[in-house]
Amino acid sequence: MRYRWWLIVLALVASPVFAKWSLVGQESALAFISTKKGDVAEVHTFGALSGNVTKSGQLTINIDLASVDTQVSLRDERMREMLFETVRFPSAKLTALLERSVLQELKVGQSKAVQTEATLELHGQRKQITVDALVVRPSQTELMVASLKPVILNAADFGLGEGVEKLRAVVGLPSISLAVPVSFVLKFSR
């Protein structure tokens, strides 16, 4: 009888629900919008993401800031050097806890809206942000987490205000907004 109990525990721990999920970077997206001249908005992305979700629901996303892609190579270079200062701060990191019950109860084909507090480490600063996301279970071996609402970051909160001003001055723009909407679609597999 005692051995059956341990077999049940081992089966639960080894089950797909409790498996570690790895980010599929090439099928994931992280985008942000910059606004210049008051009302000219442009969408930018990061091409190199990595991360995972552990058995306990700990989500970690690493963003290679040098992989910024604005569709303009000179602007990419300026953002790496003047804004993100990738030599000093090569990456950003987001951590959050997904409720274990969400991962346990979500069946294939189901989704669930969640709100969680996350920690964003960017440019030497660490801030708490609220994230509204949709967790989807497309298959037994896939998990998707997507933003339900954009997360609005203030560049100044992360020590990026001076970099934004440098970018504005170098191209002679009247303004670049410090408010930056961010959205994401993250695909994980096990």
Domain spans of the chain, in order of start:
19-189
Decide if pLDDT at 7 tops 70: no
Range 19-189: architecture per CATH: Beta Barrel (2.40)
Span 41-68, mean pLDDT?
Answer: 96
Q: Which residues contact 156 (CB under 8 A, 6 or more apart)?
A: 178
Return the beta strands (E) in 47-190 as ranges: 49-53, 58-64, 68-69, 91-97, 111-122, 125-139, 142-147, 151-154, 179-189
pLDDT recorded at residue 19: 66
Decide if pLDDT at 160 tops 90: yes
Mean residue pLDDT across the chain: 91
pLDDT recorded at residue 8: 39
pTM: 0.87
